[in-house]
Structures are given as structure tokens and as C-alpha cells.
A and B are shown apart, each in its own frame.
Chain A
Amino acid sequence: MSEEPLRKTRRKNHRKAPETPEVKQAKAALLAEKAALEQRLHETTQNLAAADAKIKEGIVDLKRADALLHAVEQEFRTVVENTPDQIIRYDRELRRIFVNPAAKASFQATLGHVAGFLRNDGKLLATPEEIEMIQGAIRSVLESGKPREFELTWPNVSGRRAFSVRMEPEFDLTGAVTSVLGVARDITDLKAAEEALRQSQAELARVARVNLVGALAASLAHELNQPLTGVISNAEAALRWLEAGPPNIGEASQSLQRIVRDGHRAGDVVTRTRSFLKKGEPAKAGFKVEELIRETFTLVQDETRRRHVDVQARIAPDLPVVLGDRVQVQQVLLNLLMNSFDAVSEIAGGTRQVIVRVKMKSTKILQLSIEDSGPGIGPELPERLFEAFYSTKSHGLGMGLSISRSIVEAHGGRIWAEPAKRGAKFNFTLPIDGRSRP
């Protein structure tokens, strides 16, 4: 409404009957009151509209939340229904109150029955002892409120299988255990695979050892040939000294003495080879590392000579006896030495040097290091070096360091590689023999 007609009216009224100041005042007050009321009505309307919008928004949110909840629930349901793990929930009376499809299929487990009984007919497939065991486990979780994990064999539709079982307590708002959720995972195949892996690893280790022996066979043949040449030459010489006129007894007897000595030397080579080839189980005993190193040096002597490698040992004095399988530790030493020879042979010219160091790492641990003057190890390699079938050598099988690591770890030691001054440095530790100290 425009103010113009109102003003006209007022003027008219004014003309008809002149107003008193009191009336004027009252009218003005009324008008002000009306405006205020209109203003409040307007505000209230606006507030209502805002509230309505908020409610609508809330409804949308709720719907969205409901959908989300549904999706999440669906997601969990899909997981629970499709997981190969067998999931069963037990109430305080050990009755099954939830069984997922995997459990139904595997155990023919049905709702409502007591734990351990497989079918509707209540027929027992597990032994009474086994049923007692599983029920005991559920009871203990119900009582203690603490989860339990164990492995067991249990009959299912495909026969007796191995399971890894986890039992989880479930609580109500007061903190009381209301039920137990059992998750069983069939680990029969996993166990079989683990066993197969272990066997093939053992077999591979043996093959690799045979391989290593093959590489050393040439060296051993040479080692036998040397004393044999000595024996034959001395024997023929002795015959000639005796057949001379007059016979030279002194020379003949010296030749015979040398035959005895060289014969023993050949025998030692045979003994050493035999102990090296022996497939026997690890037999831990105390032994002196310095002696082992000296012996191993003799074993690779031919190799070092052929490849012009200068091998040195720097052994700390008065070392204690270490505890381990001597033959296996020697294999580690041989592996690392052969590797270092390969490494230094990669470098044309310069000195080919390998240094073996032995020192105490702590009061109970001895550390052996094999340092070479080869090209060194790449920055990305140290981690992978000890993995099976990982090799940086063109003809490498990738077993040497992997086997070495399993041997060292079986001895409670550690093996690692690090860059050296010029090339690479391989270290491993061995426990000292706590039973006897020299």
C-alpha cells in the first residue's frame, strides 16, 4: 500500500474534525506497534522457512546415512559370506547363533546347535575329546573375556584338515561377555606348501652344495695330483738309488720318507673332501675359527693361485672357541671366499686382494669379515643379495648367499654386506661356545 491515499484520507479527516494532540499521539503509537508486529511476523516466517529447510536437509542426511549404513552392512555381509574363513558365533550356552556360508559348507554347522556337533542329527564326527577341547576353549573365552588363538585338526566335509582358530569375546554395554566369535582358517594346504617349500629349499641347498663341490673337484684333483706326483717320482728315484752300484741307501731312504709324507698329505685331502661332502645333520660343537680358516685356505689355495688372488687372514689373538656345525660354517666361509675371488677377478690389473678378519664383536659373539678389492656392490643390492635365486653373476645360481644366510641364522648369527674401502665386505657373526672357554 502506498502512503499517498492514506495521507489523503488523513488530510480529509483532518479537515472534517481536527484531532487533539492526544489522539495524534495514540495513532502514532498504534502505527509503530503495527510496524513492529509486521516485522516480527516477517522474521518468524523466515525462521520457519529456515527450519523447514534444515529439516528437509536432515531428512536427506538421514536417508544418505541409512544408505551408507546399508552399504557398509552389505559390504561386511559380503565379506563374511564370501570369505573362505569359517565364522561361527556362540552364545553363553555354546550354541551357534551365527554361521557364515563357509562354515555351513565346510562343517555342515547349523544354527542353534551346541559347538562341536556337526549336523542336525547331532552326529559326532569329531572325537569326544576334540569336542571337549573346542567347548573348553569357548568357555575359557567367555569366562576370561580374552581372545584365544590355537591350531587344531578337525573333521570337515573333505576329511581331516588343519585349522588355525581365533576366538574373540564380544561384549554388551556393561562389559559382560555375551558371545564368542570363532574364526577358523583352513591351513592344510598352507602347511603342505610350507613343508614342500622347506623340502625343496633343503634339496636346493644340497644341489647348490653339490655344485660347489663340482667347482672344487678340479681343485681337489690338482691337490691330490701334487702329492701323487711326489710319491711316484720319489718311488722311482728310490728304486734307482737302490739299483745303483753301489746302492745309495741314504738317498733311497730319504726318498722313502718323502713318500710317506706325501702319502699322508694325499690322505688328508681325501679326509677333508669326505667331511665336506657329508650330508649329515648339523652337529654343533665347539671349534677354533683360526683352524677352520687355515683349513679353508688350503682348500682354496689352488683357486687363489690360478686366479692370482692374494688372500690374507688377520685374526685377533686368543679368540674363544665358537659353537656351531664346523662343516656348515666352512661352507659359508667357502661361499664368501669364492664370491670374493669372483669379485676381484672382475677387475683387470691392480692387486687382487681378499682379507679375512676375525674379531670379537661382543663378549659372546665373534665376527668374521671377508673384504675384497673388487668392484664393490651396487647401492640397490645389499638387501636383495641374500635372497634365493638372486645373482649378479652371469653364471650364478643365486643360492650361495641365500644358503649362507640360512646357515648363519640357524647358528643364531647374522650375515650382512657393506661397502669396503675398495670393494665389498661381507660379515657374519657366530656365537661363542659358552660351555667351555680355552
Chain B
Amino acid sequence: MTSFPKADGAIVFVVDDDPAVREGLSSLIRSAGLKVETFSSGREFQERPRPKVPVPACLVLDIRLPGQSGLELQSELTQTEEHPPIIFVTGHGDIPMSVRAMKGGAIDFLTKPFQAEDLLAAVHQAIELDRRAIIRRHEGADARARYLSLTPREREVMALVVRGMLNKQIAGQLGTAEITVKIQRGRIMKKMGVASVPDLVRIAEKVG
């Protein structure tokens, strides 16, 4: 929970088969202080080396590409759970195309040539979304790891605590002493890394 990716580590992937467009977009996005990686095809993008630590990112994707089209790449990426949010750019977008893109979860659908501000705004929005998604995924993974460190009895107690029961009630239900429940509750809070019951409730939701 402590290893939040830093904002300045964010990266923008640009996939366009035209070098002029790639270079222009790259310079523009870099001028906004973001890192850029460019690719000439969907295949090239999918074969990129992946960082060990997840970095917030977004994908600026041309619709017309040699081989796999931008829309095809989008539906392929959607099959996998995690992928950077997509901003589509196209030379001549029609309505069915943009509907399909947005239904597929695209952040924006820009028609070339576009205003730099529109692109940068979409890029910032997409990166922010991705950052939150990464944190969510990270927190979830962290909570699950902590939960697995509990003993079976502690998990039983935790389930009852989260439901809002008092130590006395829990002891009554489990047929143990109230003092035992109090010790177990202390261990649970420590292992789950929380200081209060509301925090415990919140993290329990992440465990699922």
C-alpha cells in the first residue's frame, strides 16, 4: 500500500503507422512532461517489454493500422484483465466506429488533425484513471496476502467483527471467553495492518 507509483513515471504509448504522426505526437506529449513510447503496429505494441513495477499509462491508438486494426487491438486487449486506457485517433472516424470504440471502453475518440489540448486532456484523464486502477489492484493484492496470513480461527472472528458484533457476542457465538476474542481481534488488526474497525471493513471488501 505504500508503493504508489509516482505521477512523473507515467508513460504514453503511441501506436500509429505513419512516422510523421508518431513523431509529432511524441514531441507534443513529451512537451507536457510525459514519457512516450511509439509503435508502428499493434503487434509491435503487444511485444513491448513490460516493466516489473506497474506504471500508470495510456494508449494513443490509430484506428487504421496495417494488419490488426486499432479496434481489433482494443478488443484483444479487453480480453486481458489489465491494459492501459485507450484514446483513439483517426483520419476519418464515422459514428459506428466511434460507438464501437467507446463501448469497448475507450476514453476518447479524436479525429485527426486534433487540438493539442484535447489530446493532452484526454491523456491526463486516462493516466489518472490508470493510476487509480493500479492502486486498486495493488491494494487488493496486498489485502489478500494479509488475509491469508490469518489462522482459520482468526478469519472466523474477523468475519464476525466486520459484521459489527461486539467481543461479548462473538465469544457467545463461538463458545469462547471474551478475553480470548479480544486478544484474537488485536492480532487480526495487526496482521491486516489496520487501526480501526472501519478500516478493517474497507480492507475486507477488497479481499472479497
Contact = CB atoms under 8 A, between A and B. Distances in A.
- A is bound by B: yes
Q: How many residues of A sit at the interface, in one of the four size bands?
A: 20 to 34
Given A233-B21, A305-B17, A308-B67, A254 B113 contact: no
Contacts of B64: 222, 305-306
Determine chain A's interface SS by DSSP, over half rule.
helix
A233 B25 CA distance: 6
B82 to A, nearest CB: 28
A232 B20 contact: no
B151 to A, nearest CB: 57
B206 to A, nearest CB: 40
Interface string A222-246: 1001111111111011101100100
B46 interface: no
Interface string B71-108: 00000000000000000010110000000000000000
Contacts of A244: 31
| Best-surrounded residue of B31, B64, B89, B91 (most CB of chain A within 10 A) | B31
Given A227-B20, A306-B64, A232 B27 contact: no
B175 to A, nearest CB: 68
B30 interface: yes
Contacts, number: 88
B200 interface: no
B27 A262 contact: no
Contact of A262 (B24, B66, B116): B24
A230 B91 contact: no
A222 B92 contact: yes
Contacts of B24: 229-234, 237, 255, 258, 262
B92 A234 contact: no
Nearest to B119: A233
Nearest to A302: B64
A244 B31 CA distance: 8
B199 interface: no
Contacts of B27: 233-234, 237-238, 241, 251, 254-255, 258
A221 interface: yes
A261 interface: yes
A265 interface: yes
Interface string B181-193: 0000000000000
B32 interface: yes
A407 B113 CA distance: 39
Q: How many residues of B sit at the interface, in one of the four size bands?
A: 20 to 34
A305 B69 CA distance: 10
Contact of A240 (B17, B28, B66, B113): B28
A236 B116 CA distance: 7
B202 interface: no
B23 interface: yes
Interface string A301-316: 0000110100000000
Given A233-B27, A237-B27, A244-B31, A258 B112 contact: no
Interface string B45-68: 000000000000000000011110
Interface string A300-337: 00000110100000000000000000000000000000
B37 interface: no
A59 interface: no
Interface in A202-221: 218, 221
Interface string B107-129: 00000111010000000000000
A225 B116 CA distance: 15
Nearest to B110: A229
A345 to B, nearest CB: 15
| Best-surrounded residue of A218, A226, A255, A265 (most CB of chain B within 10 A) | A226
Interface of A: 218, 221-222, 225-234, 236-238, 240-241, 244, 248, 251, 254-255, 258, 261-262, 265, 305-306, 308
12 contacts: A221-B91, A226-B18, A229-B89, A229-B91, A230-B18, A230-B24, A231-B113, A232-B116, A234-B24, A237-B24, A251-B31, A261-B20
